[in-house]
A and B are shown apart, each in its own frame.
Chain A
Amino acid sequence: MNGTVGKSEKRVDAFDKVTGRARYTDDLCDRNALVAKVLHSTIANGVVKAIDTSAAEKIQGVVKIVTCFDVPEYKFPTAGHPWSTDPHHQDVADRLLLTRRVRFYGDDVAAVVAENEIAAAEALRAIQVEYEEFPFVLDAEEAMKPGAPQLHEEYPNNILAHTSIYKGDYDAAIKEPGLIRVEGWYDTPTVQHCHIENHICFAEMEGGRIVITSSTQIPHIVRRIVGQALGIPWGSVRVIKPYIGGGFGNKQDALYEPLCAYLTTQVGGRRVKLDVSREETFVSNRVRHAIRTHIISYVRPDGTFAARKMECFSNQGAYASHGHGIAAKGMGAFPQLYPCDNVQCDAYTVFTNKPVSGAMRGYGIPQAMFAGESHIEDVARALHMDSLAFRRKNMMPVGYVDGFSKNENYSDSLNQCIEKGMEYIGYERKQAEYAKESGPVRHGVGMAIFWYNTAVWPISLESSSCRMVLNQDGSVQLQMGETEIGQGADTAFAQMAAETLGIPFQDVHVISTQDTDITPFGLGAYASRQTYIGGFSIKQTALMMKERILKYAYELTRMPPFELDIVDGNIIRKNDARVLMSLGALATEALYSLSHSEHITAESTYQIKSNAYSFGCSFAEVEVDIPLCKVKLINIVNVHDCGRLINPALAEAQVHGGMSMAIGYGLSEQLLFDEKTGRPLNNNLLDYKLSTMMDHPDIAARFVENYEPTSAFGTKALGEPPACPGAPAIRNAILAATGVAVDRIPITPHVLFARFKEEGLL
């Protein structure tokens, strides 16, 4: 062991990225590629009756126009899930490349391919579309009512799915005398990922196959989906994923790769680039599910739960994408985070005429935690109990095992995280100090805990493949199907490989680009899975590689392989720690030997059948200017137990990014729609209030490190968890400051103005 795991190694891509050498999709596309642009519908629900492209075709530079009347009729799913060979577990196939049946304002009805951007844009403006308009519905509960406009024939009342978790006997349990009933409705908004690099891809034909370069999190999955969408063998599609400027789940969907692939086939295989604008990204990619949650708790005066009920309505938008997975994950957290003997949960995922909801960092848990942790605060207040004490009395105990996932709560993470958070923010002292305030400007501290689990087993396949190749100098190339999307995965992978092989960190060369023709099969970046999941195949493959190296070392040193080891890039004899030769010398000999030449490599797949809880909390401190209806976030800290930290500096950065997302989620971000037309109102970065550096205090990340026993390197989820607890912590801090409970996010000045009026503060 040379101890690289656990060290804040510099990112393997740091210098290329800060000097601008790192190449992203657009950097790889030559300037004479054709440019594609998509024509989006200007109605929220209806059908395309006719499209007149005659004026557009006359525009100089226009090469090809395809409409919804031209495209193949292969319906395909878009979610970036592993394929299931069981038809009952396959994602819903409800998309076409372009659609005659328009289901939201911004749906794709035609595409233009032109010599340049200006001609393409001019052509879009010149295309005439005749629609037949239907009434539309934007709200999930409205969409479930009889008589509501129907989006998909196969789904009556627009219900994509309804699942339940029932435990004990709720109806009998609530009859217990002396119970206190607490009820609340909690709303979360439609938000967008706002990764820096918008989705972009380009496609061309080579040797009769289609080659797509795309800003995606999931190259191998995109290959399958392009095959399905075009009705061609999956092997005739090659997907290349270079560096990408963030994804946060939006690029865990096939976005415009299928259309772009189709367009190149329509222009003789010439390279076609489809570069999505920010405005389109908000509307015609994916958004986070807006979820409305209804919770009823029956509690005993001693602060224990008798029965709990939860129902949630998840706004899917127009197409299934990741569908019910989000609401179901959120629902799954409910009975686990605060176990109770009598529980009724119902989750509904409902189609509406809104942009399509897909995966977004947290995958249902930010919504569930806003509802759940706001409600817990409300229950504690109803009991006149300190909410932290109430949480600690009821939250998941050590030793808890979930019946379905078999996840076990091995450590006292929640209590340990809470203690660190309290200490950082000075919780009890500030609580007491701020309780005395009564003026127009008041302060408060609040907190929330969160539940998360790592990766997707047992709901879906979890496997990872890894390839290692030894160079003449003893360095190693590492290839993984799991993708670097800005989070630092390549660096963590290099550390794990170096540690297991016994070579210096800088001797591992990660091939960052995934190319489905070359890279071993893997599923990509999602579900906070990569460090946990990738760790297994890295360790297994590195151990195989090491065994081969030591076997070859036996030939050169005549020492038995089981008495040899690799330390710091040298072959050593374990008994006396003598360095027998460098790995480089061995590798050179192995390749060029006239007696036994061998290219030492290793490749393997590891299927993971475990999963791990990843818990933590957030503490927030706010200043509320009541007459201005403004919240100033003064201080916020997240504390996580994600097991052993592979790279503390990268872990901290990951937490900072997630917290920034949570701040916007809690206070400012929301995609708005015109009630009269279904048109998005603020699909740009001026009107959509993504929080800026000037809206953040110094944000703090702290860790508790309990080694995760199921994990190859003791680590577990940290990608998504940081985005989960911030919004309810801020909400609870505002409640502490003002006494006003706000049950919807974002908690904007508009919302506070209305609530402060209702509560008589204004």
Chain B
Amino acid sequence: MYDIKALYEAESVQHACALLLAHPEAKVLAGGSDVLIQIREGKLAGATLVSIYGLDELRGVAMEADGTIRIGALTSFSHITRSSVIQEHIAVLGEAVDMVGGPQIRNIGTIGGNTCNGVTSADSGSTLVAYDAVVELTGAEGVRRVPIRDFYIKAGKVDLRPGEIETAILIPKECYEGYKGHYIKYAMRNAMDIATCGCSANVKLSGDKKTILSARLAYGVAGPVPMRAPSAEAAANGRPVCAETVDAFAKAALQDVNPRTSWRATKEFRLHLVEELARRALAEAVRKSGGEL
């Protein structure tokens, strides 16, 4: 039994925006895998909810005319994993979201919910940040597009304005074309867990596979929100594909992160993981790109 004060079912995106403006205290309900838990825990007891779960127009993965990959905000993790567009062009995202919770959560949880929570451990977060994804937000006054790096403001806080909902995640062609990525979820269990550290790396190699033209690296749980590691990227960009480059990349990542000690893990251990996971993620991304180390 859930302590819900009122539940409004949106019939369209515009209706959802109007409901949210009429009920500024309301929470948006998508898959419910986070909101319902918080209601049960008492944190959101007595909540007013605006459900967008019935808005099928927000579901699905599509390739737009200019090559942009469009992922509707309500697309479930399991649909993303099974999407042929994702598998062909940005397989790492499908692999990453296939590590969320367990099968039931992956069937109900949505990428929109995963990003709008503003949680650093979100399994989609680091890969989206690493691919320079763009968040599409729709409000009463129209559509805004925000780079995901700017969308994350601080832990639990994203750039959503009153009356706005996230309608899609967009990945422009230049952000994925030629890149192969690898995501490592480091957790205490092999299922039903949140990441102690999530690490997503991707690379574009030269035609002869000898040079790293571009390397991108992002982390979850290395800071309050998913974050890029620019020093690591700088240490690899334009460098030859070799173990030394990978090692320099991994070591440089330490300059970009500032994890903290909590009961879940010490700072020292997290830093150890930041370096080790960067090394392994880049090596694997290089391998997937046809490079040899």
Contact = CB atoms under 8 A, between A and B. Distances in A.
A672 B189 CA distance: 17
A668 B276 contact: no
Given A628-B276, A749-B269, A762-B272, A695 B263 contact: no
B272 A695 contact: no
Interface of B is mostly: loop
B1 A117 contact: yes
A26 interface: no
Interface string B249-270: 0000000000000011110110
A595 interface: no
B3 A628 contact: no
Contact of B189 (A629, A674, A682, A694): A694
Given A122-B45, A681-B263, A116 B1 contact: yes
Nearest to B102: A692
A142 to B, nearest CB: 19
B8 interface: no
Interface residues of A, number: 28
A668 B42 CA distance: 28
Given A122-B45, A753-B269, A668 B188 contact: yes
A629 B193 CA distance: 17
Contact of B266 (A116, A118, A686, A750): A750
B38 interface: no
B68 to A, nearest CB: 35
Interface string B196-226: 1000000000000000000000000000000
A685 B191 CA distance: 12
A560 interface: no
A691 interface: yes
A762 B269 CA distance: 11
Nearest to B1: A117
A710 interface: no
A693 B190 CA distance: 9
Nearest to B184: A628
A379 to B, nearest CB: 32
Nearest to B275: A627
B130 interface: no
B117 to A, nearest CB: 15
Interface string A513-541: 00000000000000000000000000000
A492 interface: no
A265 B189 CA distance: 46
B188 A689 contact: yes
Most chain A Cβ neighbours within 10 Å, of B186, B188, B190, B191: B188
A384 interface: no
A692 B266 CA distance: 24
Contacts of A122: 3, 45-46
Contacts of B281: none
Contacts of B3: 118, 121-122
Contacts of B272: 629, 753, 762
Interface in A170-201: none
Given A628-B186, A628-B276, A762-B272, A692 B1 contact: no
Nearest to A630: B186
B190 A695 contact: yes
Interface string A293-311: 0000000000000000000
Contacts of A750: 265-266, 269
A564 B217 CA distance: 84
A672 B265 contact: no
Contacts of B191: 692-695
Contacts of B269: 629, 749-750, 753
A450 to B, nearest CB: 26
A121 B188 contact: no
A686 B265 contact: no
B116 interface: no
A270 B118 CA distance: 46
B80 to A, nearest CB: 20
Contacts of A121: 3, 42, 45
Given A118-B1, A122-B45, A750-B269, 12 more contacts: A117-B1, A121-B3, A122-B3, A125-B42, A125-B45, A672-B263, A686-B194, A692-B192, A693-B191, A694-B190, A748-B188, A753-B268
21 contacts: A118-B3, A122-B45, A629-B272, A674-B263, A681-B263, A687-B264, A689-B188, A689-B193, A691-B189, A692-B102, A692-B189, A692-B190, A692-B191, A692-B192, A694-B189, A748-B188, A749-B196, A749-B269, A753-B269, A753-B272, A762-B272
Interface of A: 116-118, 121-122, 125, 627-629, 668, 672, 674, 681-682, 685-687, 689, 691-695, 748-750, 753, 762
Query: Top 7 nearest A-B pairs by Cβ distance?
Result: A694-B190, A694-B191, A117-B1, A692-B191, A689-B188, A118-B3, A753-B269
Interface of B: 1, 3, 42, 45-46, 102, 186, 188-194, 196, 263-266, 268-269, 272, 276
